């Protein structure tokens, strides 16, 4: 790699894609390309193939996906499996057909079985059943991982998959209907604080354990994969540390300064009991996260406050 390597970041305006873009710019990369969803529908095979053939990138980073939490996955199972498969299949196949030598595919820890031993090792993929509340998204991402593995095996190209733990950070989605747990909590506590510190009701029991990675650390792992030829096809990316959802809620509550009560609605689903990533393979290669959870939540909240007018446009 050199700073003039032509890199296409699919999904460059999303939370992860924009963090990758910022990180590459900060490291001196000058030949980055992106396309908004308005300019290029990644679900359209012909359009994607034509775009890749025309632009001829040296590297493609796939940070594009339809994402959401338990509610969105439950409500839109067809879109979560179909649209994600369309997006990744179009990008991967177009990359192969256009001779792209390096492809970095981003997935999710939900690809692993619901009750897999903890921490989650890459070897646990496809060893048991998935968590039902997000299996549609997980199945799509598994096909992406295996497709990149197949190209690596059959054609010898450097196609690698990075599976991050739960991501959060600046430019996150704070829509309560489609967001993940951390930004949803942040918005709920903020709104409650503004409403005379009203009580906040959260889903589930608060007992499941989750691991969270600041999005800038995820971006650094992508750059690490970009600048090095990783020897295997699949790598976990995370912190190797987790906490209960209750502890997460209390941490966010403290940072925001909300003084009301937290009410747990145990009639709502908890999801997987625990999802801690084994990140020993990435550590062995030399990558490690830098941002601690409280620091990352504070940075995210600062961004949230600076962009509150845009956030408020998404109705509660």
- Residues annotated as catalytic are 137
Residue 171 known to bind ligand: no
Residue 12 known to bind ligand: yes
Residue 91 known to bind ligand: no
Q: Of 251, 134, 136, 89, nearest to 182 (Cα)? A: 251
Residue 166 known to bind ligand: yes
Residue 183 known to bind ligand: no
Would you call 248 exposed, middle or buried from its count of C-beta atoms within 10 A (0-12, 13-18, 19+)? buried
Residue 17 known to bind ligand: yes
Residue 15 known to bind ligand: yes
Residue 107 known to bind ligand: yes
Residue 13 known to bind ligand: yes
Residue 283 known to bind ligand: no
Residue-wise DSSP of 129-192:
PPPGGGHHHHHHHHHHHHHHHHHHHHH--EEEEEEE-EEE-TT----TTT--HHHHHHHHHHHH
Residues 32 and 57: beta-carbon distance below 8 Å: no
Residues 66 and 82: beta-carbon distance below 8 Å: no
Would you call 257 exposed, middle or buried from its count of C-beta atoms within 10 A (0-12, 13-18, 19+)? exposed
Q: Of 135, 114, 134, nearest to 124 (Cα)? A: 114
Residue 11 known to bind ligand: yes
Residue 109 known to bind ligand: yes
Positive or negative torsion for Cα 288, 120, 135, 204: negative
Residue 281 known to bind ligand: no
Residue 203 known to bind ligand: yes
Q: Which residues pair with 243 in a beta bridge?
A: 210
Beta strands in the chain (DSSP E): 7-10, 32-33, 59-62, 102-106, 158-164, 166-168, 200-203, 209-210, 212-214, 234-237, 243-244, 262-265, 274-275
Residue 14 known to bind ligand: yes
- How many C-beta atoms lie closer than 10 Å to residue 280's C-beta? 13
Annotated binding site for substrate: 188, 203, 210, 270
Annotated binding site: 11-17, 106-109, 141, 164-167, 180, 188, 203, 210, 270
Annotated binding site for NADP(+): 11-17, 106-109, 141, 164-167, 180
């Amino acid at each position: 790699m050199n700073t003039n390597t032509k890199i296409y970041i699919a999904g460059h305006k999303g939370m992860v894609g924009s963090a990758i873009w910022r990180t590459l710019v900060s490291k001196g990369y000058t030949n980055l390309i992106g396309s908004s969803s308005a300019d290029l529908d990644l679900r359209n095979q012909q359009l994607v193939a034509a775009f890749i053939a025309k632009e001829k990138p040296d590297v493609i980073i796939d940070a594009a996906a339809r994402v959401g939490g338990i509610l969105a996955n439950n409500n839109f199972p067809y879109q979560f499996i179909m649209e994600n498969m369309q997006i990744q299949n179009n990008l991967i196949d177009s990359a192969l057909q256009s001779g792209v030598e390096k492809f970095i595919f981003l997935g999710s820890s939900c690809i692993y079985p619901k009750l897999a031993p903890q921490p989650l090792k890459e070897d646990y993929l496809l060893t048991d059943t998935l968590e039902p509340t997000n299996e549609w998204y997980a199945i799509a991402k598994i096909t992406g991982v295996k497709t990149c593995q197949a190209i690596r095996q059959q054609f010898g190209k450097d196609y690698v998959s990075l599976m991050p733990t739960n991501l959060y950070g600046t430019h996150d989605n704070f829509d309560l209907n489609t967001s993940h747990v951390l930004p949803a909590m942040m918005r709920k506590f903020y709104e409650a604080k503004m409403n005379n510190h009203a009580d906040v009701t959260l889903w589930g029991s608060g007992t499941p354990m989750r691991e969270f990675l600041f999005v800038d650390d995820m971006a650094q792992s992508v750059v690490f994969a970009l600048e090095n030829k990783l020897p295997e096809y699949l790598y976990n990316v995370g912190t190797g540390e987790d906490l209960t959802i209750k502890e997460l809620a209390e941490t966010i509550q403290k940072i925001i300064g909300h003084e009301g009560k937290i009410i747990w609605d145990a009639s709502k689903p908890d999801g997987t009991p625990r999802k801690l990533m084994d990140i020993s393979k990435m550590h062995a290669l030399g990558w490690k996260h830098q941002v601690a959870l409280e620091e990352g939540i504070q940075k995210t909240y600062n961004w949230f406050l600076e962009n509150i007018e845009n956030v408020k446009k998404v109705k509660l």
